[in-house]
Chains A and B, each alone.
Chain A
Amino acid sequence: MSAPAGPSMISLEQLTKSYPGQVEAAVQSLDLEVPEGEIVVLVGPSGCGKTTTMKMINRIIEPTSGVIRLQGEDVTHSPADQLRRRMGYVIQQIGLFPHLTIEDNVAVVPRLLKWSGDRTRARVDELLDLVGMDPSVYRSRYPKELSGGQRQRIGVARALAADPPVMLMDEPFGAVDPIAREKLQNEFLRLQEELRKTIVFVTHDIDEAIKMGDRIAVLREHSVVAQYDTPERILSDPADAFVAEFIGAGASLKRLGLARVRDYPYADWPVAAISDGPQAALAALDRSDETSLLLLDDQRRPLRWVQRQDLQAAGASLDRAGMAVRAMVEPTATLAGALDAMVSSRTGGVVVVDGRGGFLGTVDMGVIMKAAEDMRAAAQDSARSGGPLMRAASGT
């Protein structure tokens, strides 16, 4: 286990919850430090006590023994309602208040804290904007008039309303379909870039944990920490057989989902401008060791892949030579995304383009194999040295 990077926002010390009539505790002597500004994911099989653990932090469930600290202050016995107003709370079922408008839902905590009407109203509009919902359209609607994804956004807005330092999220994206979930996750990560909240996030889905977490606590029964580490380290260096089994097959593939295309050197495929004609393209192909060449238009946007025989067979025009480029990604795409594009387009390479579609480079199988190798080596290095963790080679 590694020491947390920043100062702790939340510390759990010997936290235990046992229910009367049950021999074994639901949560047994848990120690956990949640560093300020990070997303810590509690992940584990169902019944492992992860939700109970999270609900003890805002004392929806009162611990049997142990200490909860918030910014160093012992809040184990402080008034629960005041404590909860300092922690945003998002649950899977969302639990919007159906009889209140969206505005009134979001304004609940500011009003409990007795903010002025003007300040509350301004804050509601700001939050609706932040979660991508036009205040003038949605302010006076009711929860039942929204889609699942929109309700989820309002749930997040309500939790953020009084700008609490801490957010507790229990399977917050569990109730929406996979496409909406992906979108909500990405939006939330983008939001978190700005907000830098300290977040405790519960899920049973290891892929979600890897995607969302700065740090993951893999829990086994009775909420015992099997491993508490960065996603990279958990994937490349699982602490024991339980963690390895929980990650499941495909840890290397999952690791590719953590790395961004922009952080690795591109492959060296030759390019030529289509307007320069076949001879120039042939010459460029001859100068390289590769067998294919990428044709670009005058704005350097990728057009077609061609091989030697395509260039030789082509007349004066290259407009129909070879095959059209189908697989393109942006530099922020993950290597897993690039691999997926590569496989589904049935070509050996994927073209990286900037926001305007201009050519930046190509990624092929060699790039991905090399990246996977680097990640494994980096993770093992840091495991051996036990030094401070970096997001392995991803540069974030």
Chain B
Amino acid sequence: MDFLNYLQRDSDRLLELSLQHLSVVLVALAAGTAIAVVLGIVVARRPRLRSVAIGSTGLVLTVPSFAMYALLVPLLGLGRTSVIVALVLYSLLPIVRNTVTGLLGVDPAVVESAKGVGMGPMRRLLRIELPLAWPVVLAGIRVSAVLLVGIAALGAIVRGPGLGELLFAGLRTIGSPNAVNLALAGTLLVVVIAVVLDVCFLALRRVTTSKGLR
């Protein structure tokens, strides 16, 4: 009963923190997607660069958030910027990997006939290869999105915006009656945001994938 009262009492702030959280994730995801898709296109047909790109973006994912912020804050200071840069770095691997997989999965006969009708490399990429790889690329973006929602909560340690603030407040005041409410609300809202984003991506997939590929 206490928890529901808490939710009601603090609903304005909870909504604001949720929107901040979502906004940080979406900004980082957009930037990460742009970088990772371009990177994926560049390395897809170059085996050596490909292993470098996938290896190094994979390495980034193993760096703990604490270590990441310890490295970023001296350069970018406390707050939103550091959080977004960290999230961009964390988002790369799934998108790069899926872009590469998607592009390599395009039927060579389709690529050859695109050449055969007289499409140049750029047109082939934009009109044939990317649209055909798109469902796989989008799946990568979706994985990154859910991943970032969780990681973004840790942004609070460098005074980043979002739901992490509730979790840390709960941690600081542990033992006080409100501590559990704070932690519970933070956790619940992170999960809700992750689920909502996931569903949005499923819908996006339906809308943006050609009927010929479904």
Contact = CB atoms under 8 A, between A and B. Distances in A.
Contacts of A97: 110, 113-114, 128
A180 interface: no
A84 B120 contact: no
A80 B116 CA distance: 9
Contacts of A81: 118-120
A85 B118 contact: yes
Contacts of B203: none
Contacts of B210: 98-100, 142
A82 B211 CA distance: 31
Contacts of A168: 116
Interface in B71-115: 107, 109-115
A84 B116 CA distance: 6
Interface in A73-125: 80-85, 89, 91, 93-101, 108-109, 112
Nearest to A92: B109
B112 A95 contact: yes
A85 to B, nearest CB: 4
Interface string A223-259: 0000000000000000000000000000000000000
A102 to B, nearest CB: 10
B212 A58 contact: no
Given A60-B112, A94-B109, A98-B110, A85 B117 contact: yes
Contacts of B14: none
A236 B63 CA distance: 76
A205 B127 CA distance: 35
A346 interface: no
A144 interface: yes
Contact of B213 (A89, A93, A98, A108): A98
A109 B117 contact: yes
A37 interface: no
Contacts of B131: 99
A213 interface: no
A112 B109 contact: no
A143 interface: yes
A91 B116 contact: yes
Interface residues of B, number: 20
Classify the interface of chain B: helix, strand, loop or mixed.
Answer: helix
A99 B118 contact: no
Contacts of B137: none
B167 interface: no
B212 A108 contact: no
Contacts of A89: 113, 116-117
A95 B212 contact: no
A248 B210 CA distance: 48
A166 to B, nearest CB: 12
A109 to B, nearest CB: 5
Interface string A128-142: 000000000000001
Contacts of B114: 95, 97
Interface string B199-214: 0000000000011110
A158 interface: yes
A85 B115 CA distance: 10
B132 interface: yes
A144 B212 contact: yes
Interface in A41-60: 58, 60
Contact of B118 (A84, A100, A101, A155): A84
A260 to B, nearest CB: 35
Contacts of A93: 107, 109
A181 B28 CA distance: 54
Interface string B179-214: 000000000000000000000000000000011110
A93 B113 CA distance: 9
A31 B98 CA distance: 46
A109 B116 CA distance: 10
A112 B114 CA distance: 11
Given A84-B118, A142-B211, 14 more contacts: A58-B116, A60-B116, A81-B119, A89-B116, A91-B112, A95-B112, A95-B113, A97-B114, A97-B128, A99-B131, A100-B212, A101-B212, A108-B119, A112-B118
Interface of B: 107, 109-120, 128, 131-132, 210-213
7 contacts: A95-B113, A97-B110, A98-B213, A108-B117, A109-B117, A142-B210, A143-B212
